Chains A and B, each alone.
Chain A
Amino acid sequence: MTLPTIARIRHIYDESRTVRSFELDIAMPQAEPGQFVLLWLPGVDEKPMSIANPNPLTLTVMRVGPFSTALHRTRPGDLLGVRGPYGRGFSLCETKSALLVAGGCGAAPLYFLARRAVEQNIPTTVVLGARRANDLIYADRFRALGIELLVATDDGSLGFKGTAVACAIQALANRPTPSLYACGPERMLAALLNLCLQRSIPGQFSVERYMKCGFGLCGQCAIDGLLVCQDGPVLTVEQLKDLHDFGRFRRSATGRKLPVK
């Protein structure tokens, strides 16, 4: 059965000018960091969203298109549908130390992962990238975990001036090679994949594609032969390195390939 569970919005938090978190009145205790749910806004649409917190189930959403705009207009008490958790999440197996690299909303699932890493006493560093200081999200939450936090802003308004990738390269310079975990825009992921390949760093990347069914039936989310909904959304360096379309093409609602922005 994949019918959505109907949940009520309990709290809505403003994370930044364009990002809000929605805390629901249900828990998804079996969810792993990096897994996603399909979030149904009745009468509007349904989209895949990474899980920011499984208990209470919390989703952090940037306002980008019609769906997220409609979602941002909801109020506490409104009903949403949730199905999942779906897909394969991040694995911390055999990880001695972790470098988490987040771009934009990618901070949310990586915060979930960071909490797991801390529980397992894995030394963890987070690189948090944003355009400007006031676009930065989750910084306080990461800080509260007591792990090393490196902030990178494109305009230098806070922390390192430059991209999260440049900041990650600098962070790698003076420490033993960690496992790399990343979630963010695909251009960032593609750059980090190259970095991992050049320096033989094990890496796991949370990848996003237009999704329809969410459970391996429709084929809409295919990157080459991989289904992001089932084989992903977290894919490893090994899985990504030979893909032609990763970092280059995504698919529209029709299935047509469009260049990755």
Chain B
Amino acid sequence: MQPDLQTTLCGVRLPNPTVLASGILGLAHEVLVRVAEAGAGAVTTKSISLAPRDGYPNPVVLDWGAGLINAVGLSNPGIEVMVEEIRAAKERLAPLGVPLIASIFADTIYDFGTIARYVSDAVPDLIEVNISCPNVDDRYLRMFAAEPYVAAQVTRRVKQNTDLPVLVKLSPNVTDIVEVAEAVVEAGADGITAVNSLGPGLILDIETCRPLLAHGTGGVSGAALRPIAARCVRDICRAVDVPVVATGGIASGRDAVEMILLGATAVGIGSAVARRGMAVFAQVCQEIESYMARHDYENLAAFRRRALAIVP
């Protein structure tokens, strides 16, 4: 019997648990559709701001061996353009049964509400609130995910401005991620994406004495992040009762199963696209299926959270 990979995320049905993570390939609607056709169970746009942003000069992302390091600088064409891309993507994703997640961010708590309202006009299936980019480093502007009460205020403001289900994307760069998770759930978050990239980190070119990223430092993702993401997912799934999209270094069915055993409802895939291409989604699904067949699991619920009772 064919194992059933379907999953439901905040009331939205996904044909399989793999989700294109934000920041990867999420600009042109045609490319989002291509990722869905390649097997993703849901696709996420690049993070959208009210105004267009150039981002940082190149290099913005590099594969350093054990993962990626990136400081793209949240480049995006702004909400006006992205609303049209979302509409076009939705129209072509509907027949595939693949939902679309719109990632949003803003410089102020107030603007998070404004952009949530604008993006809701395009009716994405879910909204993901990016409060955890490690690269926005204006002195006065701390990462919103760093403080539980600030994260909660952003969540509340977004919820007041949309009827769509809201995922809040958290940062691993905090002392206690559970505190932040509890605060955003209390403020109305329908789900949590855990986690954003780690860091920021630094890689120096020793010949020129310059950082390899033009921005200097950048978020660390990929394989190096995975064990940290897994610990965060475990902690969050134990503490709060909302669905979690586990993100951070997932590159294989093994990695995806690990996250589901720890309680994840779906798994975000980003950095792995660098090594395995768009085919990674279908490959991960196939690898999950073979695990399920081996263990005689009919569906994901049969093993979701199974490790939580065992892992200390």
A: which residues have CB within 8 A of B? 1-4, 6, 38, 40, 42-47, 79, 81, 83, 211-213, 215-220, 222, 224-225, 227, 230, 251-257
CB-CB under 8 A from A213, the residues of chain B are 60-61
Q: How far is the CA of A45 from the CA of B274 in the complex (A)?
A: 21
Q: Which residues of A contact B205 (CB under 8 A)?
A: 4, 6, 42, 81
Q: Which residues of A contact B288 (CB under 8 A)?
A: none
Contact A6 B75 (CB under 8 A): no
Query: Which residues does chain B contribute within 8 Å of A211, judged by CB atoms?
Result: 58
Residue of chain A at shortest CB distance from B63: A2
Question: Which residue of B has the minimal Cβ distance to A5?
Answer: B207
Shortest CB distance A67–B (Å): 9
Contact across chains for B61 and A222 when beta carbons are under 8 A apart: no
Residues of B within 8 A of A219 (CB): 24-28, 31, 46
Contacting pair A40 B58 (CB below 8 A): yes
The B interface is mostly helix, strand or loop, or mixed, namely loop
Please name 29 pairs of A and B residues whose Cβ atoms are closer than 8 Å in the assembled complex, sorted by A: A1-B64, A3-B63, A6-B205, A6-B208, A42-B208, A45-B57, A45-B58, A46-B214, A47-B58, A79-B208, A81-B208, A211-B58, A215-B63, A216-B274, A217-B24, A217-B271, A218-B24, A218-B25, A219-B46, A224-B30, A225-B34, A251-B27, A252-B54, A252-B77, A253-B55, A254-B77, A255-B52, A255-B76, A256-B52
B25 touching A212 by the CB < 8 A rule? no
- In the complex, whether B81 has a CB less than 8 A from a CB of chain A is yes
How far, in angstroms, from A50 to B311 measured CA to CA in the complex? Answer: 52
- Contact, CB under 8 Å: B59 / A46: yes
**Interface-centre pick from B59, B203, B208 (highest chain A CB count, 10 A):** B59
Q: How far is the CB of A18 from chain B (nearest CB, A)?
A: 22
Give the complex CA separation of A81 and B193 in angstroms: 36
Chain A to chain B: the 5 pairs with minimum beta-carbon distance, closest first: A225-B30, A46-B58, A219-B25, A254-B52, A222-B28
Instruction: Judge whether A256 and B77 touch: CB under 8 Å.
Output: yes
Q: Is B126 close to A, CB under 8 A? A: no
Closest chain B residue to A39, Cβ basis: B58
CA distance A219 to B207 in the complex (A): 30
Q: Per-residue 0/1 for B60-79: is the Cβ within 8 Å of any A Cβ (1 yes, 0 no)?
A: 11111100100010011110
Residue of B nearest to A213 (CB): B61
B53:A254 contact, CB within 8 angstroms: yes
Q: Looking across the interface, which residue of chain A has its beta carbon closest to that of B60?
A: A212
Give how many B residues have a beta carbon under 8 Å from the other chain's beta carbons.
Answer: 43
List the B side residues contacting A44 at CB < 8 Å. 57
Contact B28–A4 (Cβ < 8 Å): no
Q: Is there an interface contact between A3 and B30, defined as CB atoms closer than 8 Å? A: no
A residues in contact with B58, CB < 8 Å? 38, 40, 45-47, 211-212
- Among A4, A42, A213, which residue has the most Cβ atoms of chain B within 10 A? A213
* Cβ B27 vs Cβ A220 within 8 A: yes
User: B residues within 8 Å of A by Cβ?
Assistant: 23-28, 30-31, 33-34, 46, 52-55, 57-65, 68, 72, 75-78, 81, 203, 205, 207-208, 210, 212, 214, 271, 273-274, 277-278
Q: Are B61 and A218 in contact (CB under 8 A)?
A: yes
Contact indicator A1/B63 (Cβ below 8 Å): yes
**In the assembled complex, which residues on chain B have CB atoms less than 8 Å from the CB atom of A1?**
63-65
Q: Bound state CA distance, A42 and B204, in angstroms?
A: 11
- Taking A79-B207, A216-B274, A225-B33 as contacts, is the C-beta distance between A256 and B78 under 8 angstroms? yes
Chain A residues within 8 Å of B61, by CB: 212-213, 217-218
What is the chain A residue whose CB lies nearest that of B34?
A225
**Distance from B233 Cβ to chain A, minimum over Cβ atoms (Å):** 23
- Per the bound structure, the CA–CA distance linking A47 and B214 in Å amounts to 12
* Contact status A217-B273, CB under 8 Å: yes
Which of B23, B214, B277 makes the CB contact (< 8 A) with A45?
A: B214
* Nearest-Cβ distance from residue A4 to partner chain B, whole angstroms: 7
Check A46/B57 contact, CB under 8 A, given A216-B277, A217-B273.
Answer: yes
Question: Nearest Cβ distance between residue A75 and chain B, in whole angstroms?
Answer: 15
Given A2-B63, A254-B78: A43 in contact with B31 (beta carbons within 8 A): no
CA distance A199 to B274 in the complex (A): 39
Q: Please name all residues of chain A whose beta carbon is closer than 8 Å to the beta carbon of B75 when the two chains form the complex.
A: 212, 220, 253-255
Q: Inside 8 A of A252's CB, which chain B residues have their CB?
A: 54, 77
Contact A255/B60 with A6-B208, A216-B277 known, Cβ cut-off 8 Å? no
